[in-house]
Amino acid sequence: MKSYKNIVLPEIKLKYFKRPDINAPDFSRTNYICAKCLMIDIPTVGSVYDGYSDNPKYFCEDCAIDAYMKDYDFKTREAAASWRRRFFDVGYLFNELIIERYLQEKGIVFNQLSNEKWEQLSNMSRDIYNSLSKKKKSILESIPEQSTIEGELKKVFKKVKLM
Ligand SMILES: [Zn+2]
């Protein structure tokens, strides 16, 4: 059976968010051990199970992708990784579009944005994005073309006042 989930979704291009570079000399790893492959001091936490229990289990990014691939029945790891990434990136993209609109309205460039304002806009965008239904979010995440996603996201915050 051919599933739409075998498609590899293109990576969302982000302007302001930097993906962590785990090979950078100043990158600080976690001090967790992956519950599956037992990697020590995993660079980033891929997923957490039983996060609110006394015995939370942490998984490295690679093991999290493996689990996601299995849970959602992906044919390839590449496809699974691309879909999983969308889960985070569409939210980041939403945040960036809100910041972009703010910059345009103010007539300033990104470097002129204060940390307080960045935080305020980011919190606001997170609240709005989280208020979307799960279904709506998964539809957005599954759209291949970034420009189409951007058009849809802009509709979401069209009426929001930023200043
Ligand atoms: Zn692992």
- Write the Ramachandran bin of 18: left for phi over 0, alpha for psi from -120 to 50, otherwise beta: beta
Q: How far is the CA of 131 from the centre of ligand 1 (A)?
A: 32
What pLDDT, on a 0 to 100 scale, did the predictor assign at position 27? 87
What pLDDT, on a 0 to 100 scale, did the predictor assign at position 22? 82
Name the phi and psi angles at 113, rounded to 5.
-80, 125
Structure token digits, residue 141: 């995440």
Average pLDDT on 53-72 reads 94
For residue 124, being part of any structural domain is answered with: yes
Q: How far is the CA of 77 from the centre of ligand 1 (A)?
A: 15
pLDDT digits (tens, 9 = 90+) for 106-130: 999 999 999 999 999 999 999 999 9
**CA 163/CA 156 separation, integer angstroms:** 17
Q: Tell me the pLDDT band of 3, cut-offs 50, 70 and 90.
A: low
The string of DSSP letters for 74-109 reads: -S-HHHHHHHHHHHHHHHHHHHHHHHHHHHHHHT--
What pLDDT, on a 0 to 100 scale, did the predictor assign at position 148? 98
For residue 84, being part of any structural domain is answered with: yes
For residue 73, the enclosing domain spans 45-157
pLDDT digits (tens, 9 = 90+) for 82-97: 999 999 999 999 999 9
Whether 60 shows a pLDDT value over 70: the answer reads yes
What pLDDT, on a 0 to 100 scale, did the predictor assign at position 1? 45
Give 8's contacts (C-beta < 8 A, 6+ positions apart).
Answer: 76, 78, 79, 82
Ion ligand 1 residue ranges (Cβ < 5 Å): 34, 36-37, 39, 60, 63
For residue 107, being part of any structural domain is answered with: yes
For residue 30, being part of any structural domain is answered with: no
Q: How far is the CA of 36 from the centre of ligand 1 (A)?
A: 5
For residue 93, being part of any structural domain is answered with: yes
For residue 15, being part of any structural domain is answered with: no
Number of domains in the chain: 1
Q: How far is the CA of 64 from the centre of ligand 1 (A)?
A: 7
